[in-house]
Chains A and B, each alone.
Chain A
């Protein structure tokens, strides 16, 4: 009789243990599925991040190329501006030199015309005064010659 009771107790113990293991196995499976789901989500996120990184790298390469192009365009524009400024400076110097030539020539011609007039009526003027005036006209015409030489030098640059 005692053996029967003890056998029953042993059976109960085995059944209890088996059910506890069944519950534990089920819990482990739930945990595994949860982590499996999280892993799948993480892999999806990682793939998305990789794709985003690739897009960003492409955009960075494009941006770098564009920056280099813009820097080049700006530099060339600066070259053109500097070149045009030099041309403008040159033209200003030529114009100034040409104006000086024109003014000096006008003064020379005016002086020579007046000298011719004085010489036509030379008996009315003092010879020394005429000589002095002629020297002045030569100096004015010499200035015109110098201005023209300066213009020619600018044109040759």
Chain B
């Protein structure tokens, strides 16, 4: 059971880091805590657009040292989808 708690905690920490990166990178005047993990980032939701996606790609590289190489914008659907991508890439980099 401890393992699951630990994983959940790590995931929550990653999500928090993503949110603070977003606020910082995009100069959003908002407390990162107010962004929820499943909130849509583009269009309604945070009202970001494809130009902001470029900034997020830069932010992910600077903060997590992961380059978003494929042109798949669905990575930036929500905080959770970004966290998924970062987790997978981290595993790949380790392996």
Partners in one complex: no
B residues neighboring A (CB under 8 Å): none
